[in-house]
Amino acid sequence: MFLLPSGGVKEMAKISILLVGLWLLGSWTGLLDAEYMKYKDTKESIDTRVEDLVSRMTLEEKIGQMLQIERKYASADLVKKYFIGSVMSEGGSVPAPQASAETWIDMVNEFQKGALSTRLGIPMFYGIDAVHGHNTINNATIFPHNIGLGATRDPELVKRIGAATALELRATGIQYTYAPCIAVCRDPRWGRCYESYSEDPKLVQAMTEIIPGLQGDIPDNLPKGVPFMTGKEKVLACAKHYVGDGGTINGIDENNTVIDRDGLMRIHMPGYFNSISKGVASIMVSYSSWNGVKMHANNDLITGYLKNTLHFKGFVISDFEGIDRITLPPHANFTYSIEAGVSAGIDMFMNPKLYIEFIEDLIMLVKNKFIPMSRIDDAVRRILWVKFMMGIFETPFADYSLVGYLGIQKHRQLAREAVRKSMVLLKNGESADKPLLPLPKKVPKILLAGSHADNLGYQCGGWTIEWQGVSGNNLLKGTTILTAVKNTVDPETTVVYKENPDAEFVKSNEFSYGIVVVGENPYAEMHGDNMNLTIPDHGPETIANVCGAIKCVVIVISGRPVVIEPYVDSVDALVAAWLPGSEGQGVADVLFGDYGFTGKLPRTWFKTVDQLPMNVGDPHYDPLFPFGFGLSTKPTKGFYSE
């Protein structure tokens, strides 16, 4: 047995006390460091917090912040493992069929737990396409698509719609929407034309007022270009698709916009000036090319112009698998696409599924000096700046306190107001002194016909529940035009609905008048590209059978002007209703004179597709109905003027 000398015990005790003291000092120092990490201190400026956090981050942590992945390929553990900065829903991607607001909140919070359990605890935000209301969500209010809002010429209305949409997003725990689309659609053959407010850049600029509706009003003292969002009832907005998405050849989606720089700046860029001045948090890059150069690889316009000339301080996000499509076929050389996209100035990458490959390739590109760390730091600073600004570090989790806002009556009344203000009256009787509208409410019998008269899915169009939209009334809450008519007419008036009546049925039933509701079936993006723009089958036949026998008004439900010249002479009244959304009562409001028609065409209505593209101001301008056209009616009395 080994024995210490008597003095040795005392020495050992002294050493032990010294070691414990040093350990305690080190522990307290560590605790103090943790307590006083500048990025966690709300008293520090956002710039200081961002710089402190970036200085602590590894390359892997930085790259994780630059990723936005799809919920189907995500979990709390994967968010934690790869330090993911954002999660998203692609069109129609839901946690469960007809999921409740609470189910959405639980899902978002679960991803957030993963983000907060990382070494630095950087919260993630969740993104979704809420492009005409919170359109993926069961029971949400579905507002008219942008083309209809353009017809209202009412920026203040659009701002209120932005605020309502933000509340419904927050009701489900979601903090970020890919809206507004500020494309200037120059050819209605494009399948996204209904996402554009107008062919006129000035009207598109006016409608950027939706941004302060979504994000809140920017303070006067904030420098230009700085992103801004305030409070738990607001969300991050995203101006898209930068730039020239609405000017592609023949309206082919994701194709090439051939125009000189002056034309690009005059037509397609102005909406971004307004969006940036209103504090938009993010800008999404377009799949399309400008004069043969893919926008996702365009350093001149993303870094040179957007960031350095316009001084945009928010973050630039790719479109869904946007960098994959830099090559043809897509994803043919992913390493090259990553280098091109990052070098162009994109900050966050919507890489829904192949994010591990993205991480590995980008690490290699940085370590081998193909991409400088300064470019990575610029991207991460922008993303973190927005996260600090929106307050998500302090309140990362959603609660159930706002679930009651989803689809509330106040929002449905707002949507109904938007519908009636978006209706454009193109024809009303054979002459001004013999108008058909407003229709009388008290008559013996009315015929309602057409594929779109009793179909909420068709009424709402694409980007509704599913990416490509839906058909029927089972998946949506709202009012069809048929129901709206029944709600509006006198109780003693009989309303007969027959989708495709034959001529004999119409002639033999002594109808007082007919209402025909026809138009396009739902579509989104390239699936809506259409070179002939004719009304689908049964539509022309229904118009002929009804309007050939009785007085009729034809209501066209469509995401753009369609071929109607062959029918104009045979119909008594003609209404462009666009894609009105869930609140069909707004259509009946103007049909029967409770309100007057006030909408004006946001787009030129062509005679034949051979004229396209044709926009106001073009030398060959010869429209069926010109840009800005719209007849007016007065409420109840039926007074009519042009």
The confidence band for 10, taking pLDDT boundaries of 50, 70 and 90, is very low
Q: DSSP state, 142?
A: B
* Residue of 70, 319, 583, 589 marked catalytic: 319
Q: In 10 A of CB 93, how many CB atoms?
A: 16
Q: What is the Cα gyration radius of the chain?
A: 29
CATH of the domain spanning 423-625, picked from 3.40.50.2300, 3.50.50.60, 3.40.50.150, 3.40.50.1700: 3.40.50.1700
φ/ψ region of 506 (left if φ > 0, alpha if ψ in -120 to 50, else beta) reads: alpha
Token representation of residue 410: 């106040």
- 389/387 Cα distance (integer angstroms): 5
- 213/234 Cα distance (integer angstroms): 8
Domain boundaries, the chain: 38-405, 423-625
The confidence band for 138, taking pLDDT boundaries of 50, 70 and 90, is very high
**CA geometry: angle 64, 218, 262, nearest 5 deg:** 80
The DSSP string of 605-626 is B-S-GGG-S--TT-TT---SB-
Residue closest to 134 by CA, chosen among 476, 585, 479, 576:
476
The rounded mean pLDDT for the chain is 94
Q: Is the pLDDT of residue 1 over 80?
A: no
| More reliable by pLDDT, 60 or 10 | 60
Q: CA dihedral in degrees (603, 609, 610, 612; nearest 10)?
A: 30
H or E stretch at 427 = strand 424-428
- 170/403 Cα distance (integer angstroms): 8
The DSSP string of 307-367 is IIIS---SEEE--TTTGGGGSSSTTTTHHHHHHHHHHHT--BEE-SS-HHHHHHHHHHHHH
Give CATH for domain 38-405. Answer: 3.20.20.300
pLDDT value of position 77: 98
For the segment 555-573, the average pLDDT, to the nearest whole number, is: 98
Q: In what order do the strands lie in the sheet with 125-128?
A: 176-177, 125-128, 86-88, 67-70, 349-350
* Residue of 61, 70, 324, 525 marked catalytic: 525
Encoded amino acid at 296, one letter = H
- 558/570 Cα distance (integer angstroms): 20
pLDDT value of position 35: 55
- 105/162 Cα distance (integer angstroms): 21
- 244/559 Cα distance (integer angstroms): 19
pLDDT (tens digit, 9 = 90+) per residue, 230-252?
Answer: 999 999 999 999 999 999 999 99
Q: Answer yes or no: 319 catalytic.
A: yes
pLDDT (tens digit, 9 = 90+) per residue, 193-227?
Answer: 999 999 999 999 999 999 999 999 999 999 989 99
The confidence band for 512, taking pLDDT boundaries of 50, 70 and 90, is very high
φ/ψ region of 6 (left if φ > 0, alpha if ψ in -120 to 50, else beta) reads: alpha
The SS3 assignment for 261 reads helix
pLDDT value of position 27: 46
